[in-house]
Amino acid sequence: MTRYIFITGGVVSSLGKGLASAALGALLQARGFTVRLRKLDPYLNVDPGTMSPFEHGEVFVTDDGAETDLDLGHYERFTGVSARATDSVSSGRIYSNVLEKERRGDYLGKTIQVIPHVTNEIKDFIAVGDGEVDFMLCEIGGTVGDIEGLPFFEAIRQFGQERPRGNCIFMHLTLLPWIAAAGELKTKPTQHSVKELRAIGIAPDILVCRAENPIPQKEREKLALFCNVRPESVIAALDLDTIYDAPLAYHREGLDQAVLDAFQISPAPQPNLSRWDDVHDRIVTAEGEVRIAIVGKYTQLGDAYKSIAEALTHAGMANRVTVRSEWIDAEIFDSEDPAPHLEGFHAILVPGGFGERGTEGKIRAAEYARTRDIPYFGICLGMQMAVVEAARNLAGLKDAGSEEFGREGRSLTPVVYHLKEWVKGNHTVARSKDDDLGGTMRLGSYSAHLREGSRVAGIYGTTVIEERHRHRYEVDMRYREALEEKGLSFSGMSPDGKLPEIIEVADHPWYVGVQFHPELKSKPFAPHPLFADFVRAAKEVSRLV
């Protein structure tokens, strides 16, 4: 029977519940257990797909096409377990499901209430896949006391009561602030947070306490006494140099042992942490540094490109170099020469995005990389802008652009068009510009066929790949011949040959654009091959300058 671990947060948000959950999952794996991680978000959006990156960071896409919270990226990177659509849910999705059932008459005319109908829907979601794994870790978004989170807290309380005794435990992550003027570490906010949690019927079994400095034994005992947990279950979560030290740090603190003790699993298998020892070694023994410019639209918020930043870190590990990523707002290049901003970088990466803002700057960044022989990696919109740049400056289509940016009264040759139909599995998917925005893109894992002898086929070591997509615009194949005559090769295609997946420039040190999002599948112990080779190329440049 699957055991359940519910992870809640208190005092303030952004303490690292997702990272703590992911690290715990990795530690349980290291002891030989199977795990799956889930995220329950209280916001009323059906999913994060239509949210601005400035609101909620990046949208993490699963193989089966779900647009989910970025914490699922942490879960995958730390455990290697591919997330599914059933691993992420929001209040919006829960209420939508309940209202659809009410309209169908599934409730047989009853009055629909938060308890039991909404909480039952949440419990049904939590129980999906029960019995598939040894441990199910469920993270509740937000903090205890948030009004929108109350149905989730009530649902996990009920779930714990309904399961056999000892089948569920609760882990609460809080903050221990350091008051510099008083020279004291304060436990009162955590005490009040636990009091709030217990008032709604949940008693935490484990406390994970974020702190800037080590927690003295006296404060640990005080927390154990007032929060009614065992002293060995008060776990310190200190700031780390890298998030990939989290599994080792939490193991030293005894988090995995505290969890096994709470479930009364004894004797417990000893952990094999060699994977994480190797990750740590690759980070601390880097033999050099490469500087990579990321020319994007959402550079003011690092979480907007979270998976790209992590994939570059993984690629640095593979090459035993430190990757120094510097974020540059693409809009700067709309009016300024990119050369002064990009000189000194060993490679340039242009990530995805939506809308016209900053696209001319991305085009100029692609031109700079192509003409200066600087390694270039274009992802999604970054690939499309590389094609637009080549169409304008190589194929002579001076008004080349994208239908996404078309304005009335402006001449435009749309080398990038709105995708209205594509093949998924054994059926055809059709979309219209008038459809709702949510969930209408080409989403999830699709296969691609690579040209024999191409750069990307050599990087992947195969000619058939599977990658995740999230886009509604595609490069128009009508311009393929004109572009290939000028050296821009379409080296990756959809199986039916209709949709371009990868472009590259053969007589360039490293110039690749991909329509998909390879960053979503990169892991510290299995860096994505495209990112690893991109950083290798940057490393070669760094040795020449």
Residues of each annotated binding site for UTP: 13, 186-191, 222
* 209 part of the active site: no
The annotated binding site is made up of 13-19, 71, 139, 146-148, 186-191, 222, 240, 353, 381-384, 404, 472
Q: CA end-to-end span of the chain, whole Å?
A: 59
Strands 88-90, 35-41: parallel, antiparallel or unpaired by DSSP?
A: parallel
Dist CA 535 CA 545 (whole Å)? 15
* 280 part of the active site: no
Question: Which helix (H) or strand (E) element contains residue 195?
Answer: helix 188-199
Structure-block tokens of residue 206: 């484990």
The annotated binding site for L-glutamine is made up of 353, 381-384, 404, 472
Q: Residue 115's CB: how many other CB atoms inside 10 A?
A: 11
Catalytic position from the list 219, 389, 504, 519: 519
The annotated binding site for ATP is made up of 14-19, 71, 240
At residue 225, the 3 state secondary structure works out as: helix
* 219 part of the active site: no
Q: Residue 447's CB: how many other CB atoms inside 10 A?
A: 11
Give φ, ψ of 61 to 5 degrees: -105, 135
In which order are the strands placed within the sheet that holds 464-471?
A: 322-329, 289-296, 347-350, 376-379, 511-514, 500-505, 488-493, 442-450, 464-471
For residue 151, whether the previous peptide bond is cis, meaning omega lies within 30 degrees of 0, is no
Q: Residue 221's CB: how many other CB atoms inside 10 A?
A: 12
Place of tokens 């896409």: 61
DSSP calls for 344-373 = T-SEEEE----SSTTHHHHHHHHHHHHHTT
Catalytic position from the list 280, 380, 389, 469: 380
Q: Tell me the one-letter amino acid at 134.
A: D
Place of tokens 């020319």: 295
Are 469 and 500 in contact by the 8 Å Cβ rule? The answer is no
40-77 burial code (b ≥16 CB/10 A, e <16): bbbbebbbbbebebeebbbbbbbbebbbbbbbbbbbbb
At residue 443, the 3 state secondary structure works out as: strand
Are 62 and 83 in contact by the 8 Å Cβ rule? The answer is yes
CA distances from 357 to 144, 349, 360, 422 (A): 38, 17, 8, 27
Residues tagged active-site = 380, 517, 519
